[in-house]
Amino acid sequence: MELKSRATVCALLLLLLVLSHYDGGYGGGGGGGRMLAVEARVCTGKSEHHSFPCISDRHCSDDCIKQRGGWTAGYCRRATCTCQKAC
């Protein structure tokens, strides 16, 4: 690959990287570009309905919402369905 075309590819990749981290200056919360961070506590627990390995985040989430305990979401990691809710 020529030096000129290699430099062009590197410049485009750098531009994509910069643009992927730019949020338009709003900071997500309308704070005029300031980043606002709020730490939320999240409790997790193993799903009571899944005694077999899971394969889908959506299926885990649906199962967690249906079971008692106030679970609001769920995800599948390492074939284990884990439910979560705000503490």
Question: How is the chain classified by DSSP, letter by letter?
Answer: --HHHHHHHHHHHHHHHHHHT--TTSTTTTSTT--------EEEEE-SS--S----HHHHHHHHHHSSS---EEEEETTEEEEEEE-
Where along the chain do its domains lie?
1-38, 39-87
Asked which of 39-43, 60-64, 68-72 is least confident by mean pLDDT, the reply is 39-43
Q: What is the CATH number of domain 39-87?
A: 3.30.30.10
As a whole-number percent, the residues of the chain with pLDDT over 70 amount to 62
Residue 26's pLDDT is 47
pTM: 0.51
Residue 44's pLDDT is 92
